[in-house]
Amino acid sequence: MLLDVSKIEAFYGASQALFGVDLSVAEGEAVALMGRNGMGKTTTIRAICNMNPPRIGTVRLGGMDLRGKRPHHVARLGIGLVPEGRRCFPNLTVHENLVAAARPGKWTLERVNGLFPRLQERHAQMARSLSGGEQQMLAIGRALMTNPRLLILDEATEGLAPVVRQDIWKAIRRLKADGLSILVVDKTLSELLPVADRCVILENGRSAWSGKAAELTTELQDRYLGV
């Protein structure tokens, strides 16, 4: 297993948010992390990256226990995170944002520009002046420039115009076809499910269901994801 999350529990101060989350991502697999609002998806991602380290349970990447590793170290070990809210350096140009993150590997500036031609067109522009969709592309491009073993996308298409969402999904499908291992959170099932090999559903901070995307029946969707 590339990523192996076992029985993690996480807290915000005294308040417990995760009560036992299990999930795994195999090499080349795309796993959808799902659940209604507030069920713990972002907290799970923050726990995996040790931004809010789990107090109980283990997270392993390629067999290595990530316990005690600082978030930047986790990034260096191969987890590329595209966080909720697409954080780029606002006062750096597109180009500077991309090269600041670069580590050797098959993902180069050229390849990222090929994936997102809009970034190439705007390479000299300040990140803060980009549209929301372009900032999201930049956030994904930055994560790819680290040449991650695992790409984590937290709500990468949230709040974007439909056309731009399509561009982002197209890129995600290309990354998946290219063999990248991906953990993805997104609310739009119609776009998420075709990309996902497997789904893990959280309910109240626990893994409540996991299985192949094709096994996620409308009944299960109503039970765990319906509003």
Measure the CA–CA gap between 67 and 180, rounded to whole angstroms: 24
Measure the CA–CA gap between 105 and 101, rounded to whole angstroms: 12
Output 12 or 129, the one with its CB closest to ligand ATP: 12
Output 41 or 142, the one with its CB closest to ligand ATP: 41
Binding mask 27-66 vs ligand ATP (x if CB under 6 A, - otherwise)? --------x-xxxxxxx-----------------------
The residue among 30, 39, 20, 44 whose CA lies nearest residue 223 is 39
Stretch binding ligand ATP (CB under 6 A), from 10-18, 69-77, 89-97, 214-222? 10-18
- Tokens of residue 93, six digits: 């140009």
Output 63 or 190, the one with its CB closest to ligand ATP: 190
Q: What's the maximum distance between 2 C-alpha atoms anywhere in the chain?
A: 49
End-to-end CA distance of the chain: 33
Among 2, 5, 17, 101, binds ligand ATP (CB under 6 A): 17
Tell me the closest approach of the beta carbon of residue 206 to ligand ATP, in angstroms: 11
CB atoms near residue 102 (< 10 Å): 16
Residues touching ligand ATP, count (CB under 6 A) = 11
Chain residues in the site for ligand ATP (CB under 6 A): 12, 15, 17, 35, 37-43
